Structure 1
Amino acid sequence: IDDGDVDDIHRYRGWYSDSPFVIDSKADIKDLTPNRPLIGQEMSTGYPDLDTGLPVLRYTRDLVTPQAWVGQDAYPGRDPAVFLEHNRAVTKRWAEQLRFQRDERTAGFMLFSAECWFAHSYDARRVAPYPVYGAMREAWSPVGLALETARRRFYAGEEIETAAFITNDDEQFRDLRGLTLRAAFVDERTGKEMAAIDDVKVESLPYYATFRQPLRLRAPETKEARPSMSLVLRLTDNKGEVSRTLDRVEVFAKPVPLTVPMVNSSAATLSLGRGLRQFVNEARVFQQITDDLPPNMEASRSVLLIGAGDSLKNLRPGGRVRELVEQGATAILFSPGKSIVDLFPNDLSEVKKVTGEYADYAPSAGTKLTEGLRAMDIKWWGRKDDWRVFVASSAHRLKPNGAARELIRFIPSHSYILAERVPEQYMTVLFEIPVGLGRVWVCDLDLEESVAVDPAARLLMLNLLCAAADPSSTKNLPVVPSHQESLAGRRKPITK
């Protein structure tokens, strides 16, 4: 069958499906269009409303599509800057990735809808660009620059092994020579350069070629907790600037080791992963950390940390862990999978494997669990030995009338669905099941992979341990406005 010479791929990265922060476009294209060139006439990263900058209401109201990426900040009345920043970041990275991974396979592609890159695009007097416009000007520059690492959070003084991709699509079809590449961290408020690498020489770059230049970056020292910065790549020749691009990053102050424990509680670890166990030991949250379960009399001041490799047999009725929880202990189960569904069938309906890029802490906002967190802190966590950035590999769905309560909400990326399937999209990556005088917390967040890498993951892990040591930390959870209430513009949750 002769079905033509070129494949036209349709993709909605960072909108209906996983974003380029976890998807390798080269592998994606290889699987989709093996040994054939491609074009892309329908490749989108979502639709900011032309008047408000929020997601186009149809998707928020009927499909809960943008809620998978920005949670409650998708609704009317919220600050559009949150969604506009998401749209900027995913669109820029995808455009860059499609370009430096083209490998003689592309025959032209475009991202749409470009009209959504502007506010009031229908009014010549009021038209103004959204942030994505400037990002796309950089991504589509005749000589393209792109940062390899997907991480956007770093520690002060941290050294980052990464690279810059340089693509020569010079409009005069020229080979380029005698180039100099510079990378610098720039304070967003003052425009001051805070740290930079030595200039890197790029002697030759043929037309239409892409060159990967290895870089070793060092994040600047800071006295602030977490200043926002731009990581700027700048390419010059003997005549001046050839190209530049910037990515928004945060630099976190180095954690200060504690000299005394944070709480008057003890922790017991069972089958805990190496990364989490090391963190628990070094964080000095607890008075005592052991591999043995405490006596019953210590239950109320004990936290049980149970790793993914545990069989959970001791959590069954009559088991030792179950007894301690019933008498007041808090047990945190890390990524227990289907085992916890089998143990609590009246409360949980299923578990699914996911590549969760974002989770919404609205169900526990204002509690110890979220202390110090910002709206997008549970998003795109750096990971150990993994170029991708995401926060969870599994998620559970709670039964509507069960005893389990969501603490951190997760909605997977999805496209057009029937109205009756919308409730199925609401899942959770951290939830609580009351058991006797105590509670079981199930954490599907990939803290084992991220706690030693991403500063926001570390902050959440500290909160998790401190909140677990306080039996009353989830006594008064906020009531998140319902979907209909949120559509009507209600913002502040009610505490129950």
Structure 2
Amino acid sequence: LLIPENEATGKVAALDYDDAKAHVMDVPNFWVPFSAWLEGEKMEGRLNKGQNDKLHRLEQERCENYTFPAMDTEAAWYRHYIDCPENIGSKEVILNFDGIALISSIYFNGKKIQDHIGMFSSQKINVTDLIKPGRNVVAVQVRRTWKDELSADVSSSIDDQYANAWNIITEEGKQQIKKDDSVKRFDKLMHDHIPHGFFNNNPGGIWQGVTLVITEKTKIEEFYFKPSLTGAEVDVTYANYSAKPQNVTLNYEIINKATGELLCGGLVENVILKPDEIRTHTFTTPTVAPKLWGPATPNLYTIQFTLLQNDNVLDQLACQVGFRTIAIKGDQLILNGKPYWVRGANHMPGHMRPYDKDLAKKWMELALEYNVVATRTHCSPYSEQWMDAADEAGVLISVEGPYPWMLREIPSRDAIDIWKRDMAEIVKANRNRPSVFLWTMNNEMKFFTDSSSAEVKIEKGLILTEGMKMVRKMDPTRPVVADSAYYRSSLTKKGIYEQIVIDHGVDEGDLDDPHGYFNWYNNSVFHYFKGEFGNNYNTPGRALMGQEISTGYPRADDALPTRAYLFLHQTPQTTVGKDAYEESNPEFFITRHAMLTKELLEMFRRVEHERSCGLMIFAFHTWFYNNHDVNKVSPMLTATQLKMAYQPVLASAELWGRHFYAGDTLKTDISLINDDELFNDLNALKVICQLVDGSRVIASQELDYGTVAYYTTQKKPLNLPIPADIGKERIDGQLVLRVMANGKQISKNEYDVILANKNWAFSPRSAGKDTHIILEADAKAKNLATLYGLQFKTVSSVEDIKGSGSVLLIAEPNRVRTYESVAQFIKQGGKAILLNNGASVVTLLPDLVQSYKPYRHEIVTMNRKEHDAFDGLKPLDIAWFTDGRNIPYAANGRFTIDRLNPKITALAETLEWHGYLRTPLDYQKIGGVPLFEA
């Protein structure tokens, strides 16, 4: 039952409170819409950012259908009745809330038993002395926001039972924390400093599971399973809450979950527990040969503890576990004793539907189907349902903390303690899971590289270090990432690594985790073909895995780009121009996005395999339609290209361009990467390289690789002659690479390419009957005219041109004495085609063209597809023309024109790769027109 605070009267927590008019509220759930990341964030003007409009409408509808004004409810009371038997007084009773957002006060039979701040930590409350036979009532007051006036009712300190356990900043550590006035510090707890993770719009409600655990007074509390490849070390805690000593026997057994076969078991110990004694005992299993847990091989076991007294079972505790080891050794990640390159994708829609077991299972299956072996929870931990699905499917999980506060000011001590407590609870809840392979403290704190003083950096670093000490103490079996975005070379380049990290003992984590938005905000993948990524980010001998390597976000509704980036930052316009808008055919954007995503993945595997131990491509769930619906979720083209690039064994081509002429030779290098899932060396390997037009093979060549050891790459040159006669003027074909092992195909990779007959490419189809005039000294123009078969005549100067029906072609502006003569020629009825005339065009057309910027643009997009200039071309054709092993390009510069003047028409558009725009006027700094008609 739920009672909004404005409807509550009297003592709502009382057992006899009249709740006849209370509303029914489902638990677990928020009473407001799930509002997280792009699926819930809003643009200016409160317009939804538009990654998944269907989900947005469903969540709005869910909350509007409650019988109370959910959207306007800032606080509410929950009431729930529990009927107990007569013997309840002889039992031990624990009330457990896995998560309440955001501020909660819990009452049992009218008595307040706990205050709590934060949504990511559980509350385990002993109600043994309060519960009674017959009817009992649990009441929970929940608030969405923290306000100063609440401090009289709700303690701002952490729950008493957690305070000693999680307050892990030592007195010595506190003395190391220096004070500095260059950054704001808070003495009081502020609402924004309470960890919200991914969730915005002030979430409210009992949003995780609730259980009432009834046991005997002597019981098993918990265990901690630390596996090896041949057994496990186990810490088990059990207790006697009775008033008398208890002679008990604790046994265990480990059983294969799939087959029921006993792996091992026996006596843990026989002991007399004193009254109120809580005992932790560590034991080691015998040497065994378990089936190991790993990606796509989710061999699970059930470990069961049984507490006996005189052969009577007092308590049992069972949980699924797996035998899996993980470590960092030098610059490698070691999984089950073998180096492992993580083919990860970040993230899944666990923040959209945290309780949907079927959706969680579906997404783990999709990950493996698309060759993704790992994911990251990204700003918020997954629910039990999603973590169970990962364990059972065999997907590695990087569990991330919920609060990147250090990007900003320094919060109060209470806020820091809440963050640490939440992180401790997250670790404790998940440390027995085989799927968890990394603890990531937080997302993009970046305080080491911001503009704050060294003293502030040190203070924040020491606070983070204490949190990491807690994580390492609670689970020393897994690597820890200090900050998802941190990499050591960012400090060494600034000359502050020794000053900050070494001199003060700051924990920088076990591996570097640089973020990059290549092909989206940052430069395209072609800028990294020669090892530039590793040169910039890698520290020799230190492990590196970027957990947020992004290529942008299509919409789950239609595969067009997410609305916010389209309108606020014009990000997708860089790749497809006007075809990014919502009235366009989604095929253009998703085709380009898919190609760039695949190329980025292949670059990392081909170029950076030795200097990284994997990556998490971002954002995985945005590459599927209807990503919130288990019955409708389906892959976009990006997902299918991801699947190809993430094949464990992959042949990858270093293609600097996509356009090839008949009669030429396709020259490139083919790298063969062996990340075999069974860790095997592969023998008798060949790669069959083919240019194809559908099922027709145009050209073919075989490369022999012999033996390729596991976790290595081999590179061989390809020189593939293209026939002079390809059978068509233009072919939208593919380069296909088939990896053969002992005559059997084990991998296939494909690249879309354009093959063209030179006669087609250089035919003057739009030349008309005009006479072309070229300056005698303009060698480039004459060469172009000859190449395209244009009829032309030469003159020594523009002034020498006679008649009004001619077309002046200028390719070398320095050959023009004065552009006033060109202007006069045009006024007299002539036409001019100016190719790469640069700033001279501003002189020629000062009323129409405002400026010119030289810039090698990789992509040009069509504004007027129907124009003769684009005859025979498709919208995605004008991009990445080969320039040897230099960055491929499509234009040498761009103009800023008066777009409101009807005398000039922008035929094409081009933008630099760019990040966030502050205002629409910023477009002038990064975009313009490479081709216009006036």
State TM-score, norm by structure 2: 0.42
Cα 1:294/1:300, change in 2 over 3 Å: farther
Q: 1:243 aligned to 2:747?
A: yes
- Which residue of the partner structure matches residue 268 of structure 1? 774
Which of the numbers 889, 909, 916 marks the counterpart of 1:390?
889
Ranges in structure 1 where 5+ consecutive residues have no aligned partner: 434-496
1:219 aligns with 2:718: no
Secondary structure of the 1:162 match is: strand
- 2:630 corresponds in structure 1 to 124
Change (3 A) 1:214 1:291: farther
How far apart are the structure 2 equivalents of 1:286 and 1:171? 61
One-letter amino acid of the counterpart of residue 131, structure 1:
L
Instruction: State how far apart, in whole Å, the 2-side matches of 1:42 and 1:23 are.
Output: 17
Residue pair 1:15, 1:65 contacting (<8 A) in 2 also: yes
Structure 2 counterpart of 1:231, from 720, 735, 759: 735
Shift of 1:428: 0.4
Deviation at 1:86, TM superposition (A): 0.6
For 2:110, the equivalent position in structure 1 comes to: none
Q: Which residue of 2 aligns with 1:99?
A: 605
The answer to whether the 8 A contact 1:185-1:195 is kept is yes
Amino acid of the structure 2 residue aligned with 1:429: P
Give yes or no for contact 1:17–1:413 (8 Å, CA) kept in 2: yes
What does the per-residue CA deviation read over 1:372-415, in whole Å, with 9 as the maximum and x for residues that have no partner? Answer: 221112222223x3443220232121245666542222233222
Q: What is aligned with 2:641?
A: 135
Residue of structure 2 in register with 1:183 after alignment: 689
Cα distance in 2 for residues equivalent to 1:407 and 1:124: 44
Deviation at 1:96, TM superposition (A): 0.5
After alignment, is 77-86 or 102-111 more displaced? 102-111
1:162 aligns with 2:665: no
Pairing partner for 1:281 from 786, 795, 819: 786
8 Å Cα contact 2:705-2:714 kept in structure 1: no
Spell out, residue by residue over 1:473-493, the C-alpha distance to the aligned partner (whole angstroms, 9 max, x if none).
Answer: xxxxxxxxxxxxxxxxxxxxx
User: The residue matched to 1:194 in structure 2 has which SS?
Assistant: strand
Give secondary structure in 2 for the equivalent of 1:77.
Answer: coil
Describe the shift of the 1:192–1:367 C-alpha distance in structure 2 as closer, same or farther (beyond 3 A): closer
Match of 2:572 among 60, 66, 69: 66
Q: Distance in 2 between matches of 1:295 and 1:201?
A: 63
Structure 1 residue 268 displacement after superposition: 1.0
Deviation, 1:184, is 1.1
Could you say which residue in structure 2 is the equivalent of 1:13? 518
Which position in structure 2 is the counterpart of 1:44?
550
Question: 1:324 aligns to what?
Answer: 825
- 1:157, distance to aligned residue in structure 2 (A): 3.5
Say which SS state the counterpart of residue 616 (structure 2) adopts: strand
Q: Which residue of 1 aligns with 2:870?
A: 370
Q: In 2, distance between residues paired with 1:381 and 1:283?
A: 18
| Residue 108 (str. 1) matches residue 614 (str. 2) | yes
Contact 2:797–2:816 under 8 Å retained in 1: no
Matches within 5 A, 1:398-417: 398-400=897-899, 404-417=904-917
Residue 19 of structure 1 deviates from its aligned partner by 1.4
- Relative contact order: is structure 1 or structure 2 higher (C-alpha 8 Å, sep ≥ 6)? 1
Letter in 1 for 2:802: M
Alpha-carbon distance between aligned partners in 2 of 1:217 and 1:186, rounded to the nearest angstrom:
12
Equivalent AA in structure 2 for residue 377 of structure 1:
D
Residues 53 and 420 of structure 1: CA distance in aligned 2, closer, same or farther (over 3 Å): closer
Aligned partners of 2:685 and 2:707 also within 8 Å: yes
CA distance in 1, matches of 2:658, 2:621: 28
Provide the C-alpha distance between the structure 2 equivalents of 1:136 and 1:359, rounded to a whole number of angstroms. 25
Task: State, as a whole percentage, how many aligned pairs show the same letter.
Answer: 26
The range that moved more, 171-180 or 399-408, is 399-408
- How far is 1:165 from its partner? 0.9
How many Å separate the matches in 2 of 1:259 and 1:132? Answer: 37
The 3-state SS of whatever aligns with 2:531 is: helix
Q: Which amino acid aligns with 1:245?
A: N
CA distance in 1, matches of 2:815, 2:800: 21
**Long gaps (5+) in structure 2:** 1-499
Structure 2 Cα separation of the partners of residues 11 and 164 of structure 1: 25
Q: Secondary structure at the match of 2:717?
A: strand
> Shift in Å at residue 37 of structure 1?
4.7
Contact 1:270–1:305 (Cα < 8 Å) also in 2: no
Alignment equivalent of 2:697, drawn from 171, 193, 207:
193
Report the residue type matching 1:368 in the other structure: D
CA contact (8 A) 2:577 2:861 kept: yes
CA distance in 1, matches of 2:845, 2:756: 39
Task: Identify the residue that residue 562 of structure 2 maps to in structure 1.
Answer: 56
Write the distance in 2 (CA, Å) between the matches of 1:102 and 1:259: 44
Structure 2 CA distance for partners of 1:23 and 1:121, relative to 1, 3 Å: same
Alpha-carbon separation, structure 1, partners of 2:753 and 2:632: 30
Structure 1 distance, partners of 2:794, 2:885, is 30
| Structure 1 residue 92, shift from structure 2 partner | 0.6
Secondary structure at the counterpart of residue 639 of structure 2: helix
Q: Which residue of 1 aligns with 2:706?
A: 203
Q: AA paired with 1:58?
A: A
In the alignment, the residues of structure 2 paired with residue 9 and residue 115 of structure 1 have an alpha-carbon distance, to the nearest angstrom, of 21
Q: Which amino acid aligns with 1:147?
A: A
3-state SS of 1:233 partner: strand
Shift of 1:70: 0.9
Change (3 A) 1:406 1:259: closer
Q: In 2 relative to 1, CA 38–253 (structure 1 residues): closer, same or farther, beyond 3 Å?
A: same
Change (3 A) 1:296 1:240: closer
Decide whether the 8 Å contact of 1:300 with 1:327 is kept in 2.
Answer: no
SS of match in other structure, 1:38: coil
- Partner Cα separation in structure 2 for residue 321 and residue 327 of structure 1: 10
What per-residue deviation string (whole Å, max 9, x for no partner) do you get for residues 123-171 of structure 1? 1211111112222122111112111123222223332111211111122
SS at match of 1:53: coil
- In structure 1, the residue corresponding to 2:909 is in which secondary structure? strand
- 1:357–1:390 Cα contact (<8 Å) kept: yes
Q: Cα gap change, 1:271/1:398 in structure 2, threshold over 3 Å: closer, same or farther?
A: farther
**Does the CA contact (< 8 Å) of 2:797 and 2:817 recur in 1?**
no
Q: TM-score, normalised by structure 1?
A: 0.77
Partner of 2:582: 76
The CA deviation at 1:255 is 0.7
1:47-91 CA-to-partner distances (Å, cap 9, x unmatched) read 111111111122122222111111222111322111111111001
Q: Per the alignment, in what secondary structure is the counterpart of residue 195 of structure 1? A: strand
Shift, 1:32, TM fit = 4.3
Partner of 1:351: 852
Do structure 1's residue 379 and structure 2's residue 885 form an aligned pair?
no
For the 8 Å contact 2:538–2:611, the answer to whether it is kept is no
Report the number of matched residues.
423
- For structure 1, which segment, 395-404 or 408-417, has the greater mean C-alpha deviation from structure 2 after superposition? 395-404
CA distance in 2, matches of 1:346, 1:259: 32
- Measured against aligned partners, the alpha-carbon deviations of 1:426-474 in whole angstroms (never above 9, x if no partner) come to 41001245xxxxxxxxxxxxxxxxxxxxxxxxxxxxxxxxxxxxxxxxx
TM-fit CA distance, 1:248: 1.3
User: How far apart, CA to CA, are the structure 2 residues paired with 1:21 and 1:299?
Assistant: 46
Quote the residue 2:276 is aligned against: none
Q: Which has the larger radius of gyration?
A: 2
- Quote the residue 2:929 is aligned against: 428
